Amino acid sequence: MKNKVRAAVATALAVAASALSGWGWGCSGGDGGADRGGGSSALFRKDGGGRKRRRPERAGSGSALLRVQKPVLREVLLEEEFHVLRTLGEGAFGRVLLATHRRTGAKVAVKALSRARTQPADFYRELHYARALSPHPGVLSTFGEAMRATDADGAALWLLAAEAAPLGDLRRALPRRSPLSEGAAKRVARQLAEALSFVHSIGLVHRDVKAANVLVFTADLSVVKLGDFGSARPEGELAARPAGASTGALPPEVGAALRNERVPARAAADVWALAVLLVRITGGSCPWKAADAVADPGYAAFRRWQGRRAASPPSTFKRFTPRFLRLLRRLLAPEPRRRAPVTDVFKYLEDPWVVRSPVSVSPVSSSASPPSGVMSPPPLDRRVAARRIWDWLRSCEPEDLEAVCAGGPP
Ligand SMILES: Nc1ncnc2c1ncn2[C@@H]1O[C@H](COP(=O)(O)OP(=O)(O)OP(=O)(O)O)[C@@H](O)[C@H]1O
Ligand SMILES: [Mg+2]
């Protein structure tokens, strides 16, 4: 409940902040939003230095937040505008550089996309959505001014600048094939669910939720932010699957589409990708390579368990409590219509997600021992048994319980 309220407040604050900053995407100069410690430079205006304030509009499908406008971009030489310190990461269409903005001395992450490989409309869209979502604390903050640039090698670039994440992306925080601590996994889950619920409330779909697009600001993962809005689209818009998307994070309805086939963008796809990421960070490995029950044995085993045709879940899920399994069952519903919204994550944050190490059972007296050579199960502690039954009840769907009460098997 507390989390739900917190998410609602964060969303309301972010929408209000967005509305108040005046959604002028126009050009450098003008009377737009507040500077972000960058002196008078338009680079540090969150609103791109738009011309005039507009009346706040209600977030949601079709709102002004989704209407991409063509920005006026300054033409610069990359190395004249920025002192490049190092490369932070590479993506499908460019690289991200850690750089000092020469005029203001501010350290920023500059995303440099090749103009030869990125259509103007694609850049304007990414810039627009990244700035529109920036007021939310769970979203990477992108600064106001974007530029057309040429680098020292003569390459033509689009540039946008964002706050730099000191600890890179979430992949670096994930020990190879081992999970995060439960507390850290839940901190990541909460922040990403808050960020995505904001994205969805505006009528957008991120479409590329993965560890590489989660930026890390503190070592204990108490501050992580969602970045990379290059694949974001309005809910329902037809689009081909994102170029750099990992197939393991694609839901069945997107994974089944042909490579260039366009499918409608759905918030349910972000929910699925978040669930796959939660399995990775809580369980230590990705659950499958593709959500294809014919080609992928890991996914086939999950579907058997999900459809109650197998008693236990696949090995990646073995350390999860029934309560966390219930959440995953809901977030990974194969039909997008039946998939839970991302806000369902908040309902499960107070529950344990990982099973504790087995309870040690004290040896029984020799008089109770079975004849030698006969194996007997260890005596069952009543409290452990009660706990297991309770966990099982909580993991059941209401229909199953009704079936049990009516005398049939679930
Ligand atoms: N603000 C930032 N601070 C620190 N590192 C960053 C930042 N932004 C991006 N990176 C690093 O650069 C990488 C690529 O960035 P980004 O995802 O924005 O580019 P992309 O070209 O859209 O990538 P892809 O298409 O592969 O998802 C990230 O995975 C991350 O490692
Ligand atoms: Mg990326």
Calculate the alpha carbon distances from 377 to 369, 380, 381, 401 in Å: 11, 8, 12, 28
For residues 242 and 249, what is the distance between their CA atoms, to the nearest angstrom?
Answer: 11
Q: Grade residue 248 by pLDDT with cuts at 50, 70 and 90.
A: very high
The pLDDT assigned to 260 comes to: 82
Placement of tokens 């126009």 in the chain: 26
The pLDDT assigned to 22 comes to: 31
For residues 215 and 219, what is the distance between their CA atoms, to the nearest angstrom?
Answer: 11
Q: What is the pLDDT of residues 42-63, one digit of tens each?
A: 565 554 443 333 443 444 445 6
For residues 410 and 404, what is the distance between their CA atoms, to the nearest angstrom?
Answer: 6
Q: Which residues line ligand 1 (CB under 6 A)?
A: 88-89, 91-94, 96, 109, 111, 140, 162, 164-165, 168-169, 208, 212-213, 215, 227-228, 230, 244
Ligand nearest to the CA of 113: 1
Mean pLDDT calculated for residue range 239-255: 90
Q: What is the mean pLDDT of the chain?
A: 81
Helix (H), strand (E) at residue 151: none
Q: How far is the CA of 113 from the centre of ligand 2 (A)?
A: 12
Q: How far is the CA of 376 from the centre of ligand 1 (A)?
A: 56
The pLDDT assigned to 217 comes to: 98
Domain 170-348, what architecture?
Answer: Orthogonal Bundle (1.10)
Answer for the pair 137, 14: CB distance below 8 angstroms, yes or no. yes
Q: Please give the DSSP secondary-structure letter assigned to residue 134.
A: T
Calculate the alpha carbon distances from 325 to 30, 274, 292 in Å: 52, 14, 20
Catalytically active residues, by annotation: 208
The pLDDT assigned to 92 comes to: 78
Q: How far is the CA of 228 from the centre of ligand 2 (A)?
A: 5
Tell me whether the CATH fold assigned to 2-52+59-163 matches the one assigned to 170-348. no
Locate the ligand 1 atom nearest the alpha carbon of residue 227 and give its number.
18
Q: How far is the CA of 207 from the centre of ligand 1 (A)?
A: 15
CA-nearest residue, atom 21 of ligand 1: 91
For 234-260, give the secondary structure using H, E and C.
ECCCEECCCCCCCHHHCCHHHHCCCCC
Ligand nearest to the CA of 169: 1
Q: Please give the DSSP secondary-structure letter assigned to residue 342.
A: T
> Around Cβ 393, how many Cβ atoms within 10 Å?
12
Superfamily (CATH) of domain 2-52+59-163:
Phosphorylase Kinase; domain 1 (3.30.200.20)
The pLDDT assigned to 323 comes to: 98
Q: Spell out the domain ranges in the chain.
A: 2-52+59-163, 170-348
For residues 222 and 228, what is the distance between their CA atoms, to the nearest angstrom?
Answer: 20
Q: Grade residue 69 by pLDDT with cuts at 50, 70 and 90.
A: confident
For residues 88 and 168, what is the distance between their CA atoms, to the nearest angstrom?
Answer: 7
Q: What is the pLDDT of residues 351-371, one digit of tens each?
A: 999 998 654 444 333 343 443
As a whole number of Å, the end-to-end CA separation of the chain is 30
Q: Grade residue 6 by pLDDT with cuts at 50, 70 and 90.
A: low
Query: pTM for the complete prediction?
Result: 0.80
Q: What is the pLDDT of residues 254-298, one digit of tens each?
A: 998 887 899 999 999 999 999 999 999 999 999 999 999 999 999
For residues 141 and 171, what is the distance between their CA atoms, to the nearest angstrom?
Answer: 20
Placement of tokens 């108490």 in the chain: 222
CA-nearest residue, atom 5 of ligand 1: 168
Placement of tokens 């505008």 in the chain: 81
The pLDDT assigned to 361 comes to: 43
Model confidence at 328: pLDDT above 80: yes
Locate the ligand 1 atom nearest the alpha carbon of residue 165 and give its number.
3
253 is written with which tokens?
């309805």
| DSSP β-ladder status, 147-150 and 74-77 | parallel
Where is mean pLDDT largest: 237-251, 321-335, 348-362? 321-335
Placement of tokens 């963008």 in the chain: 265
Mean pLDDT calculated for residue range 76-98: 95
The pLDDT assigned to 396 comes to: 53
